[in-house]
């Protein structure tokens, strides 16, 4: 769908008032909600009042005076952007007096503006230029020789946009965007009168300021003062395609603006229901990896993994996989091959991979990276509520009174949602953070958490049980909700359990490290403060008791009646763009699409009839089981789509051993990743800019992905899977991903209403989308839980087997940083590297001093599983006894350190708790030196044999 380049701007935000006011504008009767500005009322009636400082994504400010109007019975010429409508008001927007006034204002602006329109990068996309035309400016009586700002120096320090103060009209739209939309408050108007100017932080360069490069100010700027460097380099875009960001689970909608076949910029779409016109640095700017020279765009094959790669045709590569997989199944049995789906690929692509496994391989050996992130969410929420997904839409946060963030770092991991959350917190909602590390949200401009429960890693269950203990023993349970909505027998069992003295804050304090009084106060606040909304992340799930914590969180929400309406709920902040979709699409070895167990005859009947083949009722192998079986010699071939399991899965050595033991490893990806070192066939993947499909975000929202530029490798990923299935004897004949979605809708009860036509019409829908909810379901479990009665589950705290001791006295926990994404395959190939060139270890000054470690020292991080080296930074963000790092760089590979422990229910690895020792290092670990040599060798191989195809 091609979209208009610019959204229509109504000048001020809409009013949500129920009451309607009728007025007259230029003789036309107009009816709008009370509280609407005169400017917006006029715009809604098709009358454009000239404006510069107003835009409908920001509150009105009233500084430029270009939007003046006359109102019958009122003195003077009020600004229409700051004047609310009133019943019976008569407004005139075009009079001789107003024209003169507006021209005068424009003359002042233009007398201090470089007259270089023809060579300006914003030529054709400049509101100052437009307004000069709109007010009929013909001359500037003051001339151009007076004092001006034309020599002001340009700031080009940000990698993605420039700031040219000589073109600034000091409308403060940028400042307000940074304050209101992004919530970073990095910009100010410094000085007064003629001296006033825009300053980043305390008059610093953008690169040195607090700016997080979200681009909100650039989008808001009406002139070329703040402008994308790509627009300067490439020129103004010619067309625009609506699509969805392929980074995180927020699922922001963008207008991909294109000139020829080149993306010029990604502009967040104001009607995007997940992002409401906002973005973060990744989606907004870090898309250059799509054209990075490292992209492999021709299939590669080799006999042995020690051989150099050789280019092949698609037919040769696919034919080779088909014959190898058939040979392996003939020799080692049907179950000797399997596949891994990708949470970065579309729903349609994922559906096809699991279909290939079930219908072509004839087994259920399919798994997904959600195994290593949110599988406990799927399992835990299904047990408690009956659905494996979060309960709310993102809009819901605007109605929350208490926001409880557990094991998540939204400002880094889910930045656009974090901005929406911060807006609500600035409006007065209260915040409770449960995290071993002092994340930015704990104290950020105009926000301070009421409580930060800085628990010891691995003690989530004990903390959540203790919160429940307070709620139950202090009589804070919402009894009416529990009586009406939940299973009372299970509630009674659970309540008796959490009420036991051993679960009290006082009893658990020694284990959790959270002061009992602080925990009690936080529990009271959550239970009694109004709408309580819980948001959680991988800091909850990636534990040996990940599923238990998810269930404990569900118990809390049910006990306090915080479910089934806006402003409340249990909300997993899912990491990857389509991790929800990958789970929905049947990527797990025990579930067909829609979370239906493979042992269910009725479900298998549905697919057997459509697919025309029998489906195994035996659950297949999970990723770790596939690797175990490979080492044992019974699992021989794997197709891995869009996943670098060597970097993202636990116990790197075991993954290496499993991959090395297989006869046919197929990697389907954008770049030769770490897993590809063990591959026999490499299939080039396509980026989100090059294909059609859908992603499902963390709020169950199905968003369209649309082809913006032609696939560089010639085939979209779904076409590759289809050709492989065909080569293995199936007669698949999908002509377009919409036909795959039609099959999903036909076979999955929660998707029966979904079609590309509907998505094109309404933008996006949240599943369930079916006869009962034809436009989707923003909030779930409104009248009753999907499973009927809500189920309280006893959540006993069991300490992880990963213990500290004399050899490994510290606990390592891991997380993300805003500018990088997961293993960094994409973001490391963009200018985002300027913000995070390497992973760094955070260590408390006390622990550092004991070890003689100074800021910036190279240190060795050692666990029972392995060791790595990285630089240290000293910070009290972490408590003594806890260290923290990110996992974005392959030459650090935090997963070399993590252990084999995993969640009891889902095998999700325990990434968040590893006992370690830290010591100063003289040089990097041996494997890291080997890795560097290997990376250099790979680079040389690639350079000697041209494989980029361009």
- Could you list the residues that contact ligand SF4 (CB under 6 A)? 168-174, 177-178, 182, 184, 186-187, 198, 211-217, 220-223, 225-226, 245, 247-248, 250-252, 275, 279-280, 282-283, 415-416
Whose Cβ is closer to ligand SF4: residue 189's or residue 521's? Answer: 189
CA distance 667 to 504: 50
**Least CB distance to ligand SF4 at residue 856 (A):** 27
**Least CB distance to ligand SF4 at residue 906 (A):** 24
Whose Cβ is closer to ligand FES: residue 53's or residue 627's? Answer: 53
Query: Which of ligand FES, ligand SF4, none is residue 178 near (CB under 5 to 8 Å by kind)?
Result: ligand SF4
Under a CB-based contact definition with an 8 Å cutoff, are residues 31 and 25 in contact? no
Whose Cβ is closer to ligand SF4: residue 440's or residue 903's? Answer: 440
Query: Which of ligand SF4, ligand FES, none is residue 81 near (CB under 5 to 8 Å by kind)?
Result: ligand FES
Query: Which of ligand FES, ligand SF4, none is residue 174 near (CB under 5 to 8 Å by kind)?
Result: ligand SF4
Query: Which of ligand FES, ligand SF4, none is residue 131 near (CB under 5 to 8 Å by kind)?
Result: none
DSSP 686: -
Whose Cβ is closer to ligand SF4: residue 110's or residue 212's? Answer: 212
**Least CB distance to ligand SF4 at residue 691 (A):** 17
Q: Across-strand partners of 668?
A: 641, 683
Phi, psi angles (nearest 5°) of residue 514: -95, 125
Whose Cβ is closer to ligand SF4: residue 227's or residue 453's? Answer: 227
Query: Which of ligand FES, ligand SF4, none is residue 675 near (CB under 5 to 8 Å by kind)?
Result: none
Query: Which of ligand FES, ligand SF4, none is residue 65 near (CB under 5 to 8 Å by kind)?
Result: ligand FES
Whose Cβ is closer to ligand FES: residue 81's or residue 258's? Answer: 81
Under a CB-based contact definition with an 8 Å cutoff, are residues 620 and 366 in contact? yes
Whose Cβ is closer to ligand FES: residue 220's or residue 402's? Answer: 220
Query: Which of ligand FES, ligand SF4, none is residue 553 near (CB under 5 to 8 Å by kind)?
Result: none
CA distance 106 to 132: 6
Kindly state the tokens that stand for 179: 């304050």
**Least CB distance to ligand FES at residue 105 (A):** 9
Dihedral (C-alpha) 674, 675, 679, 684: value to the nearest 10 degrees?
A: -80
Whose Cβ is closer to ligand FES: residue 9's or residue 316's? Answer: 9
Whose Cβ is closer to ligand SF4: residue 396's or residue 544's? Answer: 396
With helix as H, strand as E and coil as C, how does 388-456 read? CCCCCCHHHHHHCCEEEEECCCHHHHCHHHHHHHHHHHHCCCEEEEECCECCHHHEECCEECCEEECCC
**Least CB distance to ligand SF4 at residue 778 (A):** 18
Of 662, 656, 624, nearest in space to 934 by CA: 656
Handedness of CA 167, 170, 173, 177 (dihedral sign): positive
**Least CB distance to ligand SF4 at residue 353 (A):** 23
Measured CA distances, 898 to 624, 627, 651 (Å)? 14, 17, 6
CA distance 489 to 878: 41
CA distance 313 to 677: 20
Query: Which of ligand FES, ligand SF4, none is residue 861 near (CB under 5 to 8 Å by kind)?
Result: none
Task: Produce one character per residue of 332-364: b if its CB has 16 or more CB atoms within 10 Å, e if not.
Answer: beebbbbbbbbbbbbbbbbbbbbbbbbbbbbbb
Whose Cβ is closer to ligand SF4: residue 358's or residue 574's? Answer: 574
Whose Cβ is closer to ligand SF4: residue 253's or residue 795's? Answer: 253
**Least CB distance to ligand SF4 at residue 197 (A):** 8
Summarize as ranges the residues that interact with ligand FES (CB under 6 A): 51-54, 62-67, 79, 81
**Least CB distance to ligand FES at residue 415 (A):** 29
**Least CB distance to ligand FES at residue 181 (A):** 18
**Least CB distance to ligand SF4 at residue 360 (A):** 33
**Least CB distance to ligand FES at residue 81 (A):** 3
- Count Cα neighbours of 333 within 13 Å in the Cβ-side half-sphere: 8
CA distance 182 to 420: 8
Handedness of CA 436, 832, 824, 583 (dihedral sign): positive
* Angle, CA of 220, 415 and 405, to the nearest 5°: 135
Query: Which of ligand SF4, ligand FES, none is residue 51 near (CB under 5 to 8 Å by kind)?
Result: ligand FES
| CA 155 from centre of chain | 29
Query: Which of ligand FES, ligand SF4, none is residue 52 near (CB under 5 to 8 Å by kind)?
Result: ligand FES
Q: Work out the number of other CB atoms within 10 angstroms of the CB of residue 613.
A: 13
Query: Which of ligand SF4, ligand FES, none is residue 598 near (CB under 5 to 8 Å by kind)?
Result: none
Under a CB-based contact definition with an 8 Å cutoff, are residues 200 and 186 in contact? yes
Under a CB-based contact definition with an 8 Å cutoff, are residues 762 and 768 in contact? no
Query: Which of ligand FES, ligand SF4, none is residue 90 near (CB under 5 to 8 Å by kind)?
Result: none
- Helix ranges, 459-487 (H): 460-473, 479-485
**Least CB distance to ligand FES at residue 52 (A):** 5
Kindly state the tokens that stand for 443: 């104290």
Whose Cβ is closer to ligand FES: residue 220's or residue 534's? Answer: 220
CA distance 187 to 882: 34
**Least CB distance to ligand SF4 at residue 206 (A):** 7
Query: Which of ligand FES, ligand SF4, none is residue 62 near (CB under 5 to 8 Å by kind)?
Result: ligand FES
**Least CB distance to ligand SF4 at residue 181 (A):** 7
CA distance 611 to 355: 9
Whose Cβ is closer to ligand FES: residue 126's or residue 498's? Answer: 126
Whose Cβ is closer to ligand FES: residue 53's or residue 356's? Answer: 53
**Least CB distance to ligand FES at residue 38 (A):** 10
Under a CB-based contact definition with an 8 Å cutoff, are residues 289 and 302 in contact? no
Whose Cβ is closer to ligand FES: residue 54's or residue 728's? Answer: 54
Query: Which of ligand SF4, ligand FES, none is residue 664 near (CB under 5 to 8 Å by kind)?
Result: none
Whose Cβ is closer to ligand FES: residue 172's or residue 419's? Answer: 172
Kindly state the tokens that stand for 265: 């910029």
Query: Which of ligand SF4, ligand FES, none is residue 431 near (CB under 5 to 8 Å by kind)?
Result: none
CA distance 525 to 504: 17
Query: Which of ligand SF4, ligand FES, none is residue 225 near (CB under 5 to 8 Å by kind)?
Result: ligand SF4
**Least CB distance to ligand SF4 at residue 418 (A):** 8
**830-836 contacts: CB < 8 A, separation 24 or more?**
830/285, 830/286, 830/287, 830/288, 830/289, 830/292, 831/159, 831/160, 831/285, 831/286, 831/288, 832/159, 832/281, 832/282, 832/285, 832/286, 834/159, 834/207, 836/886, 836/888
Residue nearest to ligand SF4 (CB): 283
Under a CB-based contact definition with an 8 Å cutoff, are residues 252 and 245 in contact? yes
CA distance 579 to 696: 8
């Amino acid at each position: 769908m091609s979209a208009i380049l610019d959204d229509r701007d109504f000048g001020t935000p809409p009013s949500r008032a129920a009451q309607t006011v009728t007025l007259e504008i230029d003789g036309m009767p107009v009816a709008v909600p009370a509280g609407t500005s005169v400017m917006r009322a006029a715009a809604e009636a098709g009358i454009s009042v000239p404006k510069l400082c107003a835009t409908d994504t920001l509150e009105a400010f009233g500084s430029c005076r270009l939007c003046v109007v006359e109102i019958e019975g009122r003195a003077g010429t009020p600004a229409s952007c700051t004047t609310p409508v009133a019943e019976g008001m008569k407004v005139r927007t075009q009079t001789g007096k107003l024209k003169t006034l507006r021209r005068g204002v424009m003359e002042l602006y233009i007398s201090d503006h470089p007259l270089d329109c023809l060579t300006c990068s914003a030529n054709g996309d400049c509101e100052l230029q437009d307004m000069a035309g709109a007010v009929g400016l013909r001359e500037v009586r003051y001339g151009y020789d007076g004092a001006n700002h034309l020599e002001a120096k340009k700031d080009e320090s940000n990698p993605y946009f420039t700031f040219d103060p000589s073109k600034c009209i000091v409308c403060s739209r940028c400042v307000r965007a940074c304050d209101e939309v992004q919530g970073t408050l990095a910009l100010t108007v410094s000085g007064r009168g003629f001296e006033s100017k825009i300053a980043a932080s305390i008059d610093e360069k953008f690169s040195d300021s607090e700016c997080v490069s979200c681009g909100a100010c650039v989008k808001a700027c009406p002139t070329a003062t703040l402008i994308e460097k790509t627009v300067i380099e490439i020129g103004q875009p010619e067309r625009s395609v609506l699509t969805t960001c392929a980074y995180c689970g927020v699922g922001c909608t963008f207008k991909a603006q294109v000139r020829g076949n080149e993306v010029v910029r990604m502009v967040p779409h104001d009607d995007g229901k997940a992002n409401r016109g906002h973005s973060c640095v990744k989606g907004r700017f870090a898309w250059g990896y799509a054209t990075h020279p490292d992209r492999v765009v021709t299939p590669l094959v080799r006999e042995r993994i020690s051989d150099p790669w050789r280019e092949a045709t698609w037919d040769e590569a696919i034919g080779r996989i088909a014959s190898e997989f058939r040979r392996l199944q003939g020799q080692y049995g049907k179950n000797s091959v399997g596949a891994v789906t990708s949470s970065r690929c579309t729903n349609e692509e994922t559906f096809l991979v699991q279909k290939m496994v079930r219908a072509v391989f004839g087994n259920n050996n399919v798994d997904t990276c959600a195994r290593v992130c949110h599988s406990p969410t799927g399992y835990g929420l299904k047990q408690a509520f009956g659905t494996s997904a979060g309960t709310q839409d993102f809009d819901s946060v605007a109605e929350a009174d208490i926001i409880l963030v557990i094991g998540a770092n939204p400002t880094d991991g889910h930045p656009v949602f974090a901005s929406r959350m911060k807006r609500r917190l600035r409006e007065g909602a209260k915040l409770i953070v449960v995290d071993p590390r002092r994340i930015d949200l704990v104290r950020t401009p105009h926000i301070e958490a009421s409580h930060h429960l800085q628990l010891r890693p691995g003690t989530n269950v004990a903390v959540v049980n203790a919160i429940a203990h307070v709620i139950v023993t202090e009589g804070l349970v919402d009894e009416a909700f529990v009586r009406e909505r939940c299973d009372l027998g299970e509630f009674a069992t659970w309540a008796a359990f959490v009420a036991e003295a051993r679960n009290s804050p006082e009893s658990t304090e020694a284990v959790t490290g959270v002061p009992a009084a602080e925990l009690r106060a936080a529990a009271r606040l959550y239970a009694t403060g109004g709408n309580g909304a819980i948001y959680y992340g991988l800091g909850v799930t990636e534990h040996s008791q990940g599923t238990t914590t998810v269930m404990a969180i569900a118990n809390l929400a049910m006990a306090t009646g915080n479910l089934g309406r806006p402003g409340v709920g249990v909300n997993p902040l899912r990491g990857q763009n389509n991790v929800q979709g990958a789970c929905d699409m049947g990527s797990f070895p025990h579930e067909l699409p829609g979370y239906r167990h493979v042992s269910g005859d009725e479900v298998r009947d549905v697919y057997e009839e459509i697919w025309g083949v029998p489906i195994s009722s035996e659950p297949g192998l999970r990723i770790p089981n596939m690797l175990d079986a490979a080492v044992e010699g019974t699992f021989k071939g794997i197709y891995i789509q869009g996943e670098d399991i060597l970097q993202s899965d636990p116990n790197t050595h075991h993954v290496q051993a499993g991959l090395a033991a297989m006869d046919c490893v197929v990697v389907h990806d954008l770049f030769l990743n770490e897993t590809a070192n063990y591959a026999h066939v490499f299939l080039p993947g396509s980026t989100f800019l090059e294909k059609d499909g859908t992603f499902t975000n963390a709020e169950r929202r199905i968003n369209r992905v649309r082809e913006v530029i032609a696939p560089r490798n010639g085939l979209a990923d779904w076409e590759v899977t289809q050709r492989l299935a065909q080569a293995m004897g199936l007669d698949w004949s999908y002509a377009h991903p919409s036909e795959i979605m039609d099959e999903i809708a036909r076979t999955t009860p929660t998707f029966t209403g979904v079609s590309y036509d509907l998505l094109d019409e309404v933008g996006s829908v949240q599943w369930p989308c079916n006869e009962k909810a034809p436009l989707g379901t923003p909030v779930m479990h409104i009248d009753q839980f999907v499973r009927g009665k809500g189920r309280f589950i006893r959540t006993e705290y069991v300490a992880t087997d990963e213990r500290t001791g004399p050899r490994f006295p510290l606990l390592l926990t891991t997380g993300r940083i805003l500018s990088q994404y997961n293993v960094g395959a994409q973001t490391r190939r963009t200018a985002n590297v300027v913000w995070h060139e390497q992973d760094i270890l955070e260590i408390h000054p006390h622990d550092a001093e004991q070890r003689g470690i100074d800021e910036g020292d190279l240190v060795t991080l050692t666990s029972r599983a392995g060791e790595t080296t990285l630089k240290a930074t000293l910070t009290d963000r972490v408590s003594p006894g806890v260290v923290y790092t990110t996992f974005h760089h392959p030459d650090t590979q935090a997963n070399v350190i993590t252990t084999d422990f995993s969640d009891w229910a889902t095998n999700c690895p325990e990434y968040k708790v590893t006992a370690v020792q830290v010591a100063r290092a003289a040089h990097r670990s041996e494997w890291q030196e080997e890795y560097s040599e290997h990376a250099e060798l790979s680079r040389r191989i690639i350079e000697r044999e041209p494989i980029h195809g361009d």
